[in-house]
Amino acid sequence: MKSFPLYRPSVDAGELVAISGQIGIIDGRLVDGGAAGQTEQALINLQEVLQAAGLATSDVVKVNIYLTTMADYDAFNERYNAVFGTEPPARTCVAVHELPFGALVELEAWARR
C-alpha cells in the first residue's frame, strides 16, 4: 500500500467534522466479498473515524457515495441501511470510473458535533 503522509481521516470544521473517503480496506488490503464486503468494511472504517472524533453514526448529516458501477447499488444500499437505520442522513450516490486501490465503493461523510 502506498503511503499518504498528508492523509487526514477527519478534519474538525467547528460544528461539523468532515470525514475523508473510506474504502473497504483493512491492513492495507481490500477485503473480499465484492461490493458488499467492501461496503461493510468501509462503514466499519467510517465508524472508527467517527468514534476517534467522539462521534457516532447518528451524528452524520450527509454522506457522499462513489460506486464504480451502479450494478452494485443494491448490495451497497442493503449494508448502508443496516448501519443508518430508519432516519439516515442525506446522501448522494454517483458512479465513477475508478477508485483508489481498485476499490468498488468509497464513502465520505459530514457529521455534526
| 72 noted as active-site residue | no
Cα-based torsion angle of the residue sequence 65, 71, 73, 76 in order, rounded to the nearest 10 degrees:
-90
Q: Which of 20, 62, 93, 108 is catalytic?
A: 93
d(CA 95, CA 51): 28
Catalytic residue set: 93
